[in-house]
Structure 1
């Protein structure tokens, strides 16, 4: 992977034989080439702001972020961060506002966050799927409950972004859409100011430019579109638009195999599925060179991206 090599001023990494099959997505982002050099996302926490994560899934449970400054179940805000018993993250859902980060319903849309998390950091254990950064940690931030692809009690995305930054995430995966607001822009600016990289789905409407929050990649983080096995941009994927300032890349997002709640696996498609490939790639870059700034990550990715 040339961009991770560039992160450490090394020659281009050697290309290994493709895995193929359900792992075509890992081949496409050249993740195994980076693992062979010893960079697997170790030491990097990726926040997944989504529908919740099945933190007991066998391919995820060893890679779930743990807040070591909090004591589980004692009803006390031990680390004085404003959230009680936030051991693995927080549920920002309206009317919830609690530490339950697992998918809250059996609606098919609730599986979204678990699938995203697996693409980023499912363990390389010979079963199921393997994430792009299989030794990164996942901070699970749930925005509430989902029905028919929409949050029915969606909590504050800006608050969730700020939580991720303040509690040690280096990368934030935003496989979602949001309304524009000054609060959202402020939160994205805050993340960038702390060298936290936000990675946002461009959207699935087949439009010429991305929706929010990806449209803010003119200044903050990255916008991600989806490609298929043939590396053609998916019909549903929003494009980059006309702004030369937009930091937009593409990644595998069609029929991606990853973790699902209940110790299972399955295929999903969308720019939501492309985004975690880029978040995982950023985790690989930061595990290779933790000193990279927000702007350096954006520059390297968009200068060396293929496809």
Structure 2
């Protein structure tokens, strides 16, 4: 079964479409100010030549916010669904496939979620709305019933067209629940229902297309562990902050949440505009901010840019989780500028500079040499650990960081030093 994350556009703020002038931008957007977006916009970095893919409900192709913005689309529904694509079939591709669902000749107004997320990514600025975070980027909209097989079809279509459209990010603001056992509840990465979704996400990520997923809107801790795609290692889980800069009260928080972003920008509804809400709004802000950084620093890898976003972001404390990074465009630019100044993307490793990953007694062990004083962050089996200032073990010439994962598991490990990926490996714990 599937469940859409609640993130409605406030209808009280709706303004009739067609009355604004796209040439003139709206007044300053507080949500964009919160991520220091003007640092990129003032340099003309607005997503030119880039495409962001979204998996959602489709959008109003006639809305002025999306004029000339949608470059491609796919619509896919499973046979058991009563819904149909715009052409009456269950599978359609092309721009027309990106359309919001139509019944009796009219758009289904309460299915405006796709308009909201797409507008946050790449809406056209006008008198009433600020435009998307990457207003000059293009949109590929995947319109699906959110069943695992439909999501896989959409992800594979995005992968197949990634070079044609220069797709650099995927934004996903929905949830799929497919439990078959208690083990699946506690670790969705082993859930067979999600295996093909994981494979499709991994294929995209390996190709440099980063998938961002909304963490979910529920007053729970760690329930996100069972909802795909946000629970999967291959997706970047994004939570949201409110107008006070705190974690929004309804966030489904877990150790999987990797980034935070504001949840209240003005965006599109089926007709007109309104204030967004929910972690559904945070994921496209993160995806579009990442896209701007990829545009500005094309010689750096996608993983390096993502690591910089996490390292540079202002750290926000939740009730239990601490130091969760919030998207900060200016700080990320500054860090990537420093990294770009290196002769290579990653610092040269000498015999006295080394990062090694090992395993013993059910532990993953990360050894570093020659990186004393630097910041270490590592993703081990989908969970993050950090050392703010690396220090050698007592009486040793190396540092040691351990995480207990249990024996007999295939574990993915990524090790970053000062935000730069230096080691990536997959190992079976002993």
Give the drift of 1:108. 4.7
Answer yes or no: is the 8 Å Cα contact 1:222–1:298 preserved in 2.
no
Q: Which residue of 2 aligns with 1:158?
A: 152
Cα pair distance change 1:202/1:189, threshold 3 Å: same
Q: Which residue of 2 aligns with 1:250?
A: 260
Cα pair distance change 1:126/1:46, threshold 3 Å: same
Indicate the structure with greater strand content.
2
Alignment of 1:93 onto 2:77: yes
In the alignment, structure 1 segments of 5+ residues that lack a partner are 1-18, 66-87, 145-150
The counterpart of 2:173, out of the listed 172, 175, 183, is 175
How does the TM-score come out when normalised to structure 1? 0.76
Give the drift of 1:247. 6.1
Secondary structure in 2 aligned to 1:195? coil
Cα pair distance change 1:170/1:113, threshold 3 Å: same
- The 4+ residue runs of structure 1 with deviation greater than 4 A are 19-22, 105-109
| Partners of 1:267 and 1:256 in 2: CA distance | 6
In the alignment, structure 2 segments of 5+ residues that lack a partner are 1-24, 80-89, 178-192, 317-430
Answer yes or no: is the 8 Å Cα contact 2:27–2:130 preserved in 1.
no
Q: Which moved more, 1:122-131 or 1:89-98?
A: 122-131
Give the drift of 1:56. 2.2
How does the TM-score come out when normalised to structure 2? 0.55
| Partners of 2:260 and 2:36 in 1: CA distance | 14
The counterpart of 1:28, out of the listed 27, 34, 45, is 34
Higher relative contact order (CA 8 A, sep 6+): 1
Secondary structure in 2 aligned to 1:90? strand
The counterpart of 1:47, out of the listed 35, 50, 53, is 53
Q: Which residue of 1 aligns with 2:234?
A: 220
Q: Which residue of 1 aligns with 2:269?
A: 260
Cα pair distance change 1:51/1:22, threshold 3 Å: farther
Larger Rg: 2
Give the drift of 1:278. 0.4
Alignment deviations for residues 113-163 of structure 1 (CA, whole Å, 9 cap, x no partner): 11101001112344433111111111011014xxxxxx6x78611221121
Alignment of 1:37 onto 2:43: yes
| Partners of 1:248 and 1:212 in 2: CA distance | 15
| Partners of 1:229 and 1:265 in 2: CA distance | 19
| Partners of 2:235 and 2:78 in 1: CA distance | 27
User: Following superposition of structure 1 onto structure 2, how do residues 1-307 of structure 1 map, counting pairs within 5 Å?
Assistant: 23-65=29-71, 88-95=72-79, 96-99=90-93, 100-105=97-102, 106-144=107-145, 156-168=150-162, 169-179=167-177, 181-209=194-222, 210=224, 211-216=227-232, 219-241=233-255, 246=256, 248-253=258-263, 255-262=264-271, 264-306=272-314, 307=316
Answer yes or no: is the 8 Å Cα contact 1:94–1:154 preserved in 2.
no
